[in-house]
Structure 1
Amino acid sequence: MSPQPSLSDRIAPLTAALESQVIAWRRDLHAHPELGNREFRTASIVAEHLRSLGFDEVKTGVAHTGVVGLLKGGKPGGVVALRADMDGLPVTEEVELPFASKARAVWNGEEVGVMHACGHDCHVAILMGVASILASLRADIPGSIKFLFQPAEEMPPEGEEGGAALMIKEGALENPTPQAIFGLHVTSRQPAGVIGYRPGPTMASSDKLKITVQGKQTHGAAPWLGIDPIVTSAQIVLGLQTIVSRTLDLNREPAVVTIGAIKGGVRENIIPDSVEMRGTIRSFDEGMRDAIHERITTLAEGISAASRASCKVCITKNYPVTRNDPVLTEQMVPTLTRVASTGPRPMGIEVVPKATGAEDFSFFQRLIPGLFFFVGVTPPDIEPTKAYSNHSPRFVVDERGLEVGVRALANLAVDYLATKAE
């Protein structure tokens, strides 16, 4: 009597049989994107799917619209979590597809187009596929898998809580508590099907910056009668560039301070009372992060005082550094390597550079070991460096990458649980 194939050997044909369904789910979700904390249709589809598979628990309404499913294997063992984010972006789609989004919604008081411009439709479809496969294998799975379908990764609307932090606050990592968590992100920076990973700091922390400079309004023809907040703001913007280039030890980690918006004044011959600047701060080290915050405040206040103006600096911490646990990463790289080198379209695996984008998967990683990796979705006829990036209204997905994502997450789950059962 021949031995029964391993769980990993059984995942590949199951994934192949399910690929067309995963693509169909992705296209449906792409045509019906929803913004953060408003993923009602998406959550309903996910919850119905998990219930149809006989999941032991399916909780809805977690962090507004999140879904948490628990699949208990037929053998005793550990607990692992898999996560997918569900929200779209306030972006009007410019890609000509039969399933292109025509959705409109209100975001922070403004009517906007809505698009899955970051690939979260792919993440949801992939994890739904993983749920189908692991449910069919549950009798031989040693342990339990917790499925986290998360809302508002792209930030909740102003004035609302949301995302991974709120899921944690509402108990998503409890009863039972996973011993590890895995997540992925599709990316235009790699060819379709290529897996990318990095141990340690992988994606940057993200903080919002607002500086309000208060001057004294006067006629533009007589600037000496007032205090010019525009000139002061210009000096602050230039000064901020020296924080990274002249005060940080960049041998440790890179960092970014960017001002993306300046608002002040209503016409050419009036020096206004005040100017508001908004920007973003990115770093890969929590100590450097705090140092940057302190130096921004000191610099802005000092320049303002020297100009006889005043200023108020407001820095809001958004997401921590997405840091892949080095031990867990080393343990699971063989699994990712096996997935990347097999299947119908083996494409390979690579260590990717740090990314200054941010991810609230990082909140989960602060509590339990986590590994966050990337799956390329750029068509083979497009050079990844020239492809439209995630968040672009022309972001496109080569759907051949979805199958790789399904196999990767499913194999990570069963391989990790196998180590806990030994």
Structure 2
Amino acid sequence: MKKFFLFAFAAASFSASAQTTVISTKADALKDKIIAWRRDFHEHPELGNREVRTSGIIAKHLQSLGIEVKTGVATTGVVGVLKGDKPGPVVALRADMDALPVIERTASAFASKVKTQYNGQEVGVMHACGHDSHMAILMAVAEILSGMKKDLAGTVKFIFQPAEEGTPLGEKGGAEQMVKEGVLENPKVDVVFGLHIDSQIEVGKITYRPGGTMAGVSDMQIIVNGRSAHGASPWSSVDPVLVSAQIVNNLQSIVSRNVNVTQNPAVVTIGTIKGGTRFNIIPENVVMEGTLRYFTAGDEKILKDNVRRIATKTAEAYGATADVKIPYSNQYPVTYNDPALTAKMLTTLEASAGKGNVLLKPAVTTAEDFSFYQQKVPGLFFFLGGMPKGADPLKAPSHHTPDFYIDESGFTLGVKALCNLTLDYMAGKSGK
């Protein structure tokens, strides 16, 4: 009996090793195609809910692979369903498609020159967060797994999602809308995997974190209403500019005095202040917008309650009023990696990248609407290195900036990791 178990273990280890080698070979063979897809998407970016050209290319590719395709999900989303020839679980893989209203400043030959209207302003459009690479990687995963259909013990659902960065006011979109429209049903998804390229993690490395990985986020709007007057006679006014300045300062006490920062980080940021039309006119109102970041329901309540209290009471102290809306236009839950799933799939990530290249990372206060999928099914979201080897992460251009840059040599690792996660999860559920 002991010999049998030793033989079975050796056979299983050989099988897993052989799979990793096969996937690695297939991914490396697609390297040039992945880069070409990514550069095309990068040169022709589209904002959230407007990914018409983008989704058309993706749908055509999936259809060419014999994958069942549904378009128009949550406005422009594409969902592909690949049914393996053998029974097993349903694994969802997700990539986001939207670009950002950023004017590109890089010198790359495929830099974006696109301009469009966003919230009433003319803006540049740029893939300044790496969603172009996410799409290209998942298209390659679809190509590899569709070629393994006869050996696939389960079903793969490819989710190409619009509007991860949020939608313009009055629109619906993103992961939350995809979930509402049934993307995790018919067939019912058992697990979801996703990745995000990171311009400040070295190529060849993967980082991950069990539990709370990325912050929950809620945006906010504060309108301070005062009384207008000539700038030369401020005593005739209730100055909303002055009141807004006091509110901004007072809001900074929330994290430093109300949140236990030894347990979880939190953020209160005012990102825009708009008021007035002329240097010598005190306006009637000022509009501020900002963001809250948190990792627990308790901290979320502390932040929201204190923002409302401080804004309204500070305004009242100066004879003004403050209207506070939280959330204002969008809110994402905490991106939460199921601890049991993360522990189970860690060996797969290590087999894909090499054990020394898979690193535990601290929680980050950026947010991801991948969290909406994780609210419904167990999920694992990890980060893929996109910084050139040897570069300084403190000097590498960060996401959402005009100089954002990704080293394309790391894309194939993302393909290998997603393929291996899919196959290993299926093998574990089918008892192989």
TM-score (norm. length: structure 1) = 0.95
Q: Provide the C-alpha distance between the structure 1 equivalents of 2:317 and 2:114, rounded to a whole number of angstroms.
A: 50
Asked whether 1:228 is paired with 2:239, we answer: yes
Report the Cα distance in structure 2 between the residues aligned to 1:356 and 1:126, rounded to whole angstroms. 25
Pick from 119, 124, 129 the counterpart of residue 118 of structure 1.
129
For 1:289, the aligned partner's letter is E
**Does 2:343 match 1:330?**
yes
CA distance in 2, matches of 1:274, 1:186: 41
Deviations 1:14-44 (A, max 9, x none): 1111111111111111111111111111111
Aligned equivalents of 2:161, 2:344: Cα separation in 1? 26
Q: Is the CA contact (8 Å cut-off) linking 2:20 and 2:351 kept in structure 1?
A: no
TM-score scaled to structure 2, two decimals? 0.93
Residue equivalent to 2:218:
207
CA distance in 1, matches of 2:220, 2:323: 11
Q: 1:83 and 2:120 equivalent?
A: no
Aligned-residue identity in percent: 53
CA–CA distance in 1 between the matches of 2:372 and 2:155? 21
Distance in 1, matches of 2:146 and 2:381, equals 23
Conserved 8 A contact 2:258-2:302: no
| Aligned partner of residue 252 in structure 2, secondary structure | helix
Please tell me the residue identity of whatever aligns with 2:194.
G
Report the Cα distance in structure 2 between the residues aligned to 1:407 and 1:79, rounded to whole angstroms. 19
Structure 1's consecutive aligned runs of 4 or more residues displaced over 4 angstroms after TM superposition are 2-6
C-alpha deviation, 1:6, in angstroms: 4.3
**Does the 8 A contact of 2:202 with 2:390 survive in 1?**
no
Query: Where do residues 16-55 of structure 1 align in structure 2 (5 Å cutoff)?
Result: 16-55=28-67
C-alpha distance after superposition, 1:267-288 (max 9, x if no partner): 3333222111111111111221
Tell me whether 229-238 or 402-411 shows the greater mean CA deviation: 229-238
- Do residues 321 (structure 1) and 321 (structure 2) align? no
Separation in structure 1 between the aligned mates of residue 202 and residue 53 of structure 2, nearest angstrom: 31
Q: Secondary structure at the match of 2:110?
A: coil
Superposition RMSD on alpha carbons, in Å? 1.6
Q: Which amino acid aligns with 1:14?
A: K
Q: Which residue of 2 aligns with 1:167?
A: 178
Consecutive unaligned residues of structure 1, counting only runs of 5 or more, are none
Compare 279-288 and 124-133 and name the one that shifted more. 279-288
Indicate the residue corresponding to 1:375 in structure 2: 384
Worse overlay, 391-400 or 333-342: 333-342
One-letter code aligned to 1:371: L
Give the corresponding residue for 2:27.
15
Matched residue SS, 2:326: strand
The alignment of Structure 1 onto Structure 2 pairs a total of residues equal to 416
Q: Is 1:414 matched up with 2:423?
A: yes
Aligned positions of 1:15-414 closer than 5 A: 15-55=27-67, 57-316=68-327, 317-341=330-354, 348-414=357-423
Cα distance between partner residues in 2 of 1:372 and 1:125: 17
**Partners of 1:8 and 1:414 within 8 A in 2:** no
Whether the 8 Å CA contact 2:268–2:291 is kept in 1: the answer is yes
| Secondary structure of residue in 1 paired with 2:359 | strand
Report the equivalent of 2:7: none
Query: Aligned partner of 2:259: which letter?
Result: L
CA distance in 1, matches of 2:181, 2:102: 29
Choose 373-382 or 356-365, whichever is displaced more.
Answer: 373-382
Contact 1:85–1:149, Cα closer than 8 Å, also in 2: yes
- Flag structure 2 segments of 5+ consecutive residues without an equivalent: 1-10
Deviation at 1:45, TM superposition (A): 1.1
